[in-house]
């Protein structure tokens, strides 16, 4: 019969010691790392909480990554909008009606200064941040606007703004520089002057109103319908100073007037016609004065209006230029063919530009910061500076150098030194004066339109530089507020995670000492009782 050497359950004792050894190993790991467990499985009942907190922390880091990118772009946009506002202010104060400068220096330098401002605007619109273009809405992989040279002069056989302006000006002025108005000769015995639009189209002058304070000697009528026409009929001699005022709508929608005043002077001045007892002669005098005034205005205010109308046509807010068609002279405006005309804008055209580029900065907040170069404030900068950059304002020396005017002087000097030469030289000086005055009228027309376009009165309009800046400020505030929330929440979550995943070093050290004492006692007892056997007592 075999008798066991011991009656003590040694295997059970070894199992308990093994468990305590594993606990000691785990606590030594905790003491060394400060973590409750080295694997997810070791987290036990704390695992769901740990996973949830870590998932939220990862999400916060994702939002913070978005915010960092947004903050970089918003910082760039803020600096750009500040500069755009500065350019707007500079343009508004750089040129004013009647401010020609000493020796017409403002007239001479305005095109160059405007070109420099246009180039700066285009350059900023085409800047990219880390390879991303910011002024084309959600089209971020290419410059939204053509270069300044291409915009103005075209490229590869395609027309630029200068050529479209030339077409528009020809369509507005007409072949006889009468602004597309017909002014037939006075019919004998009628004492009447007739003025009419030459058709139904968007070009040239449009007859809007007519009035006189010379009744009953002067009668004015305006027919209903389109194209419009009007008439001025003389039945007796008006009193000197009495006048006729004809209201005209210009190609850009603005209004102007031609005022013709009766005078007894044999050689009437500008805007005047000579009174005569014969109604037909007086009507002829009125017609001559009207023709002169319309042609004078055609090279001044009408040209300014046509230049801005062409800017509106070419720099269209949907990115598709328009150009005159039909004729000649032109009878309609049509969308340009991209094979023939440069398309100035290549970005997105959304009804809600800000929403075209957006990023979530937390679960409930989205920062919207999309911008399109076609928005009204930016578009007005491009249009006005392009219009002023391509327009020249001849000073007196330039007017005298014009071949048609210089020829009058040469013809005068070829005459004998008598009254005929004097009269011819007076004609020459009158032509110089008229040309110089027309140049100043063009300058004034351009200045007044830029002043209107750059007016602070547009600040509250959608798409203005100020409104865009305000919208970007809202996005910046949303981003910064989200950053603050994320920082506070992250701190709370990290504290919670510390409580869930880490251990107290002091408590762990004390637990190790206690376990060590128990383990040593277990070793001693197990060693002692493992020697007990029945054979030792027999």
Extents of the domains making up the chain: 10-61+491-537, 181-298
Please name which of 233, 195, 229, 189 lies closest in space to residue 215, comparing C-alpha atoms. Answer: 233
Token pair 């000073």 is found at 395
Looking at residue 7, its pLDDT comes to 47
Let me know: does 267 contact 216? Beta carbons within 8 Å: no
Please name which of 313, 353, 367 lies closest in space to residue 336, comparing C-alpha atoms. Answer: 313
Q: How many CA atoms lie within 13 A of 33 on its CB side?
A: 13
Looking at residue 164, its pLDDT comes to 98
Let me know: does 458 contact 428? Beta carbons within 8 Å: no
- Tokens linked to 240: 């000197």
Token pair 């911008």 is found at 371
* Helix, strand, or coil (residue 231): strand
Contacts of 171 (CB under 8 A, 6+ apart): 180, 203, 204, 324, 327, 329, 330
Please name which of 118, 145, 83, 80 lies closest in space to residue 369, comparing C-alpha atoms. Answer: 80
Please name which of 355, 344, 351, 348 lies closest in space to residue 372, comparing C-alpha atoms. Answer: 348
pLDDT digits (tens, 9 = 90+) for 5-18: 544 555 666 677 77
Looking at residue 2, its pLDDT comes to 45
The β-bridge partners of 261 are 243, 272
- Tokens linked to 207: 């007859």
Whole-angstrom CA distances from 259 to 202, 203, 430, 460 are 24, 22, 20, 36
Nearest-angstrom CA–CA distance, 355 and 392 = 41
The sheet carrying 255-263 orders its strands as 206-212, 243-249, 255-263, 272-274
pLDDT digits (tens, 9 = 90+) for 388-422: 999 999 999 999 999 999 999 999 999 999 999 99
Let me know: does 199 contact 331? Beta carbons within 8 Å: yes
Residue 368 has phi, psi (to 5 degrees) of: -110, 125
Spans of the chain below 50 pLDDT: 1-4, 6-7
Please name which of 355, 343, 354, 347 lies closest in space to residue 374, comparing C-alpha atoms. Answer: 347
Contacts of 238 (CB under 8 A, 6+ apart): 214, 217, 218, 262, 275
Q: Alpha-carbon Rg of the chain, whole angstroms?
A: 44
Contacts of 310 (CB under 8 A, 6+ apart): 161, 164, 165, 167, 168, 169, 387
Using alpha carbons only, what angle is made at residue 160 by residues 154 and 164, rounded to the nearest 5 degrees? 150
Contacts of 193 (CB under 8 A, 6+ apart): 183, 186, 231, 232, 233, 283, 286, 287, 290
Nearest-angstrom CA–CA distance, 493 and 489 = 6
The β-bridge partners of 372 are 136
Whole-angstrom CA distances from 181 to 166, 196, 286, 421 are 19, 5, 16, 35
Query: What is the model's pTM?
Result: 0.84
Looking at residue 532, its pLDDT comes to 63
Sign of CA pseudo-dihedral 285, 287, 292, 297: positive
Contacts of 143 (CB under 8 A, 6+ apart): 125, 126, 128, 133, 136, 346
Nearest-angstrom CA–CA distance, 388 and 311 = 10
């Amino acid at each position: 019969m075999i008798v066991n050497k011991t009656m003590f359950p040694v295997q059970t004792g070894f199992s308990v010691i093994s468990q305590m050894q594993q606990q000691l190993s785990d606590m030594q790991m905790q003491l060394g790392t400060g973590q409750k467990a080295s694997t997810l499985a070791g987290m036990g009942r704390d695992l769901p909480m740990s996973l949830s907190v870590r998932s939220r922390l990862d999400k916060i880091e994702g939002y913070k990554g978005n915010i960092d990118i947004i903050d970089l772009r918003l910082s760039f946009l803020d600096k750009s909008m500040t500069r755009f506002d500065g350019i707007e202010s500079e343009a508004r104060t750089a040129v004013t009606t009647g401010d020609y400068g000493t020796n017409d220096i403002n007239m001479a330098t305005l095109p160059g200064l405007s070109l420099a401002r246009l180039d700066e605007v285009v350059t900023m619109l085409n800047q990219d941040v880390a390879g991303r273009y910011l002024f084309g809405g959600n089209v971020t992989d290419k410059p939204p606007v053509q270069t300044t040279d291409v915009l103005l002069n075209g490229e590869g056989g395609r027309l630029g703004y200068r050529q479209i302006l030339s077409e528009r000006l020809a369509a507005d002025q007409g072949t006889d520089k009468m602004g597309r108005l017909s002014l037939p000769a006075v019919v004998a015995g009628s004492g009447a002057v007739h003025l009419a639009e030459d058709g139904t189209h968007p070009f040239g002058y449009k007859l809007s109103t007519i009035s006189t304070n010379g009744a009953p000697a002067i009668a004015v009528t305006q027919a209903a319908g389109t194209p419009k026409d009007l008439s001025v009929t003389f039945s007796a001699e008006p009193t000197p100073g009495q006048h006729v005022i004809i209201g005209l709508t210009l190609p850009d929608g603005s209004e102007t007037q031609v005022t013709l005043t009766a005078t007894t002077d044999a050689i009437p001045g500008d805007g005047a016609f000579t009174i005569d007892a014969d109604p037909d002669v007086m009507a002829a005098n009125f017609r001559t004065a009207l023709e002169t005034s319309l042609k004078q205005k055609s090279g001044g205010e009408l040209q300014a209006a046509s230049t801005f109308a062409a800017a509106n046509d070419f720099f269209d807010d949907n990115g598709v230029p328009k150009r005159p068609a039909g004729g000649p002279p032109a009878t309609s405006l049509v969308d340009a063919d991209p094979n023939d005309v440069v398309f100035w804008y290549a970005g997105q055209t959304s009804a809600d530009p800000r929403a075209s580029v957006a990023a979530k900065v937390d679960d409930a907040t989205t920062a919207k910061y999309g911008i399109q170069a076609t928005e009204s404030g930016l578009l007005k900068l491009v249009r006005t500076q392009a219009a002023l950059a391509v327009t020249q304002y001849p000073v007196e020396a330039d007017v005298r150098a014009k071949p048609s005017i210089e020829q009058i002087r040469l013809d005068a000097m070829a005459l004998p030194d008598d009254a005929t030469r004097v009269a011819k030289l007076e004609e020459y000086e009158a032509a110089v004066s008229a040309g110089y005055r027309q140049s100043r009228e063009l300058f004034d027309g351009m200045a007044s339109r830029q002043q209107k376009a750059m007016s602070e009165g547009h600040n509250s309009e959608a798409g203005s530089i100020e409104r865009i800046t305000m919208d970007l400020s809202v996005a910046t505030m949303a981003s910064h507020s989200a950053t603050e929330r994320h920082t506070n929440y992250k701190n709370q979550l990290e504290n919670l995670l510390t409580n869930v995943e880490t251990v107290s070093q002091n408590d762990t050290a004390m637990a190790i000492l206690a376990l060590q004492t128990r383990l040593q006692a277990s070793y001693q007892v197990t060693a002692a009782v493992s020697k007990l056997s029945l054979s030792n007592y027999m």
